[in-house]
Amino acid sequence: MSEKIIIFDTSLRDGEQALQASLSVKEKLQIAIALERMKVDVMEVGFPISSPGDFDSVREISKKIKNTTICSLARCLDKDIDVAADAMSVLNNFRIHVFLGTSNLHMYSKLKKNFDEIVDMAIRGIKRAKRYTDDVEFSCEDAGRTCLDNLCVIVEKAILAGAKTINIPDTVGYTLPNQFSNIIHTLYQKVPNIDRAIISVHCHDDLGMAVGNSISAIAAGARQIEGTINGIGERAGNAALEEVIMAIAVKKDILKVHTTIEKKEIYRVSKIISQICNISVPPNKAIVGSNAFAHSSGIHQDGILKNRENYEIISPKTIGLQEVKLNLTSRSGRAAVRHRMQQMGYKNSEYNIDELYASFLKLADKKGQVFDYDLEALAFINNQQENPEYFILDHFHVKSSSSGFSTASVSLICGKNTITKFSTTSNGPVDAVYQALHKISGYSMLLQKFQLFAKGKGKDALGQVDIIVEYKNRKFHGIGLATDIIESSVKAMINVLNNIWRANQVILQLNKFSKEK
């Protein structure tokens, strides 16, 4: 009989905290909607006590997501737990995930407590969380290096206190699959009330063992797997959920388990997270890498032509990888664009057809023909824009030469006002434009990273600019897309300016809310 494996996604918590720049509420919501569509069972969406932005994003996601259990992280501290519950208070059902270090290293060097004190803290934290919800998960942080006897004791006590899920994290990716399997097996042998809780695992990839450890844990009895899409996360990252999900699917006869994940959404969710988080997927990445279904060897190509199963154990269509088509021009109507988006798997609610079609026509006039990847890029960029935006580009003008100064004039609509500034620099046209934008916004920023990518091939490829900007010790990510490199650079910086403006508005609103309370 096949048992279900619960898929617990922590891309928006463990994954997000390792990014170069914080995600905006809008960006987190986009990811949450994509994960819900993929039918993940539990979605850990933040650590609300950590920042006003995290609190606000957890609250907004809680308002929108209906079909996936929402979970927030908290230390075993009253304030953490109360704030986590408050952030999800719009929901009738939610999960609070409390954690506490249990290894000798964490207890004595980080927490300055002995094991008895740790057990007491865990029990109090679980009981505090139970005031708000019956769905409480407890994590034994650094379980991979925790004494097995201590681990058995605290797991038993946590279950008695009311935790319905017990998570066993290999927090620093220390164990090998046989070692990790033994930990899970020992818990099932020695913890008398183990049948009253679901055993979960959360593996990191410091030794490249995260997916292997997760699969070995399933074989030993674990029934919840925690991880992230594309394996993003602290240091070397987390277990890549797409790899775990497809390993379960391919090896279902051996593992005797299954998931209820919508596997055809995997590739699209991977792309969305890669773009929003500004982390590229390595070409040789299992399941979702660009080379995962590519064949270069003559022998392999011959075998594939005769029967794809000769060299592919997974069909690309299983994960939603569609053939790239060329079929849209400036003569194509709105209905054709909508139909093509539906063919690629997008729901009408996931994009604004009016905004997308307007962007499509502009691009089609420039390129002649629009590819699927162009259309997806336009939909993605449009989704990055909050309506209304505070900063809106009116126009810009740049003069530049190889032997002299670059001069830029930029006009921005800022709320109800239009402001124009000039700037001259010897560092090129992009720097000139950025200096003018900085003068208009008044934000004291530092450009830390500038990347240019070609979206598509040949002379008609779109240029996507990704930038990272530091403002008040916080990093912000901006994206711009256009056929002109300077225009895409301008759009990326305006994207950042709006993200900063919104972040400031969140802080102002939360400060006002705190004063009113």
Q: Is residue 322 classed exposed, middle or buried when 0-12, 13-18 and 19+ CB atoms within 10 A define those classes?
A: middle
SS3 386: coil
From CA 120, how far away is CA 123, in angstroms rounded?
5
Measuring CA to CA, which residue among 382, 317, 366, 370 is closest to residue 345?
317
CA 449 to the chain's CA centroid:
20
Which pLDDT value is given to residue 34?
Answer: 94
Q: What is the pLDDT of residue 476?
A: 86
Cross-strand bridge partners of residue 397: 409
Q: What is the pLDDT of residue 324?
A: 52
Burial 490-505 (b: 16+ CB within 10 A, else e): bbbbbbbbbbbbbbee
Give the residues across from 199 on adjacent strands.
166
In which region does residue 46 sit, left (phi positive, over 0), alpha (psi from -120 to 50) or beta (all else)? Answer: left
Amino acid letter, residue 29: L
Which H or E run includes 378? helix 372-383
Q: What are phi and psi of 312, to 5 degrees?
A: -135, 125
Between helices 266-277 and 25-37, what is the axis angle to 10°? 170
State the pLDDT at residue 508. 74
Look at residue 292 in the predicted model and tell me its pLDDT: 86
Closest residue by Cα to residue 345 from 265, 258, 252: 265
Q: For residue 404, what pLDDT is reported?
A: 79
Determine contact, residues 173/206, Cβ cutoff 8 Å: yes
Check: CB of residue 227 under 8 Å from CB of residue 9.
yes
Distance CA 305, CA 326 (A): 23
Quote the pLDDT of residue 459.
62
DSSP SS3 for 118: helix
Judge contact between 38 and 266, C-beta under 8 A. Answer: yes
Q: What is the pTM of this model?
A: 0.79
pLDDT at 337: 84
Question: How far apart, in whole angstroms, are the C-alpha atoms of residue 385 and residue 215?
Answer: 40
DSSP 2: P
Helix (H) or strand (E) holding 202: strand 198-203
| Two tokens, residue 176 | 């090998």
Closest CA to 96 of 112, 80, 111, 107: 80
> What is the spatial distance between Cα 135 and Cα 65, in angstroms, rounded to a whole number?
17
- The Cα–Cα gap between 206 and 218 comes to 20
Q: What single letter denotes the amino acid at residue 343?
A: Q
Q: Let me know: does 233 contact 201? Beta carbons within 8 Å.
A: no
Q: Which amino acid is at 65?
A: I
- Extract the residue ranges of the chain whose pLDDT is less than 70: 295-298, 300-302, 304-305, 323-327, 366-369, 373, 381, 383-388, 456-460, 510-517
Q: What is the pLDDT of residues 111-134, one digit of tens each?
A: 999 999 999 999 999 999 999 999
**Torsion on CA atoms 398, 400, 404, 407, rounded to nearest 10:** 0
**How much is the pLDDT for 504?**
82
Q: What is the 3-state secondary structure (H, E, C) of 281-330?
A: CCCCCCCCCCCCCCCCCHHHHHHHHHCHHHCCCCCHHHHCCCCCCEEEEC
